[in-house]
Amino acid sequence: MIESIREHVLSNQDDIITDLRKLIKHPSISAQNVGIEECASAVNEVMRNAGISSNIIKLKDGNPIVYGEIKSNSKKTLLLYSHYDVQPVEPLDKWKYNPFSGVIADNKVHGRGASDSKGNVIALIKAAKTFLDTVGEPPMNLKFIIEGEEEISSINLAQFVKDNRQMLKANASLCFDSSLNPAAAASIYAGLKGLLYIELRCKTASIDVHSGLAPIIPNPAWRLVSALDSLKRDGKIIIDGWYDNIKAQTDEELALVDTLEYDEKKIKEEYGVKELQDKTVGKEALKKLLFEPTCNISGIQSGYTSTGSKTVLPNEAFVKLDFRLVYDQSTTDLIKKLRIHLAKRGFTDMTIYKLGTVEPSKTDINAQIVQATSMAADQVYKKKSAPFPNMWGSGPDFVFTKILKLESVWTGCSPAYANIHAPNEFTTIKNVLDGVCYASMIIQEYSHM
């Protein structure tokens, strides 16, 4: 089966890569509301040209979702998910090529979204087209959700799923929004961390003032630094009750982690660090990455930061924080605990703005969709796949596992270290073509289970 699929994919290489470049050329920056509707229309066009019955569903307060279906004679249904929105491109001067050009150079397709996640979107669409072109229909019913808000925490996806439970009814979900590991084998995740993204803002005076007044005018930057210092100690989050609802890892999950490859040296080289956080080494670093919650400063700003000096005491300071959550922490519960924590320590002048939330999710590592994905990966990449009990990143997997009550798997075909969320993002032609084969074989393998 895999060889016939690969042959068909190779014969359609130009069509596949042309459509990927088409999507990359459409800016779709959800954080800045740039090009969203135009890109959704482009995705819809690519899906319809592939033979998928699709349409654009406009959300009252959010970015449109492209929804599609292909029916077969099977009673089984697989729900396929990915996203067309991308991260901002700044700093623009760090890009070698125009981030929305889709330039092909050195067998790479360059541009924002090439890996995260328009290459994965194309892989899903073209996998469906492969079945339509070769055997007339897929081996089971397929439903597609391609959303436009994943990069801003999928803020409207949960409500959309709740409102359309019947339409989205399926046996399992396949989320294609990830990368291969550095050894070019598939990474397969049976769970994802959650995310609580906030902005913490402090304002003292009504205007910036002369810094000579520092003995009598409170400085919001110092207030903010003190508040931040109260959140962590010795690598641990010290907000009361933060760890209360965390489910302990099973013996099976811990044993699985011990079998996974973890190239600590490569990670240090890739990111230019001499040692990992808290001097963690070996498999303990991997366990922390997968199973521990985080509190991260994404950005902080106050006062004068341009060239030269300006003796000013700023009137406002703010920080953007992202908290990664593990199963089964709740974003609603944790933001309450954060508010109580700050109030108890006198930081009542801090305003918390909730910018996005994603709940953590989990699927049994032995679930059929996980096993089917693993079998497909081994055939396509001819390397042993790496099934993880959890992912260090976040995504809206919970809408499938907690709302639709489906077993779900998270994987994808992008190359490792592809500069996602950074300048000079890329994918390779081989990764995209292999990705079409990978998605096709997951569909094929799961249909037999």
Maximum CA extent, the chain = 78
Q: In the prediction, which pLDDT does 431 show?
A: 98
Same fold, 2-190+363-447 and 193-246+293-358: no
Q: In the prediction, which pLDDT does 307 show?
A: 96
**pLDDT exceeds cutoff 90 at 386:** no
Average pLDDT along the chain: 96
**pLDDT exceeds cutoff 90 at 249:** yes
Q: In the prediction, which pLDDT does 253 show?
A: 93
Q: In the prediction, which pLDDT does 155 show?
A: 93
Contact (CB, 8 A) for 398 and 196: no
Give the whole-angstrom CA distance, residue 49 versus residue 94: 35
Give the start-to-end residue ranges of the domains of the chain: 2-190+363-447, 193-246+293-358
Q: Which residues contact 307 (CB under 8 A, 6 or more apart)?
A: none
Tens-digit pLDDT profile for residues 4-21: 999 999 999 999 999 999
Tens-digit pLDDT profile for residues 125-137: 999 999 999 999 9
Alpha-carbon separation of residue 79 from 82, 170, 266, 310 (angstroms): 10, 6, 35, 56
For the chain, give the number of residues: 449
Q: In the prediction, which pLDDT does 327 show?
A: 96
Q: In the prediction, which pLDDT does 270 show?
A: 83
Tens-digit pLDDT profile for residues 256-312: 999 988 888 888 988 899 999 888 888 899 999 999 999 999 999 999 999 999 999
Q: In the prediction, which pLDDT does 282 show?
A: 84
Average pLDDT for 219-247: 97
Contact (CB, 8 A) for 192 and 410: yes
**pLDDT exceeds cutoff 90 at 430:** yes
Q: Which of 39-43, 64-68, 272-276 has the lowest mean pLDDT?
A: 272-276
User: What architecture (CATH level 2) is domain 193-246+293-358?
Assistant: 2-Layer Sandwich (3.30)
Tens-digit pLDDT profile for residues 160-193: 999 999 999 999 999 999 999 988 999 999 999 9
**pLDDT exceeds cutoff 90 at 392:** yes
Average pLDDT for 420-443: 98
- Alpha helices, DSSP H only, in 70-219? 119-134, 157-163
Distance of CA 431 to the CA centre of its chain: 18
Contact (CB, 8 A) for 120 and 177: yes
Residue 406 exposed, middle or buried by CB count within 10 Å (0-12, 13-18, 19+): buried
Average pLDDT for 47-71: 97
Average pLDDT for 408-425: 97
Contact (CB, 8 A) for 73 and 138: no
pTM to 2 decimal places: 0.91
Residue 96's φ and ψ, nearest 5 degrees, are -75, -40
Give the whole-angstrom CA distance, residue 278 versus residue 359: 27
With cut-offs at 50, 70 and 90, classify the pLDDT of residue 231.
very high
Contact (CB, 8 A) for 197 and 154: no
With cut-offs at 50, 70 and 90, classify the pLDDT of residue 98.
very high
Q: In the prediction, which pLDDT does 262 show?
A: 81
Q: In the prediction, which pLDDT does 364 show?
A: 96
pLDDT > 90 fraction of the chain, expressed in percent and rounded? 93
- Quote the tokens at residue 330: 């709740």
Q: Which of 226-235, 262-271, 346-355, 374-383 has the lowest mean pLDDT?
A: 262-271
Top CATH class of 2-190+363-447 equals alpha beta
Candidates 398, 347, 448, 414; CA nearest to 195 is 398
Q: What is the CA radius of gyration of the chain?
A: 23
Give the whole-angstrom CA distance, residue 31 versus residue 301: 18
Q: In the prediction, which pLDDT does 265 show?
A: 87
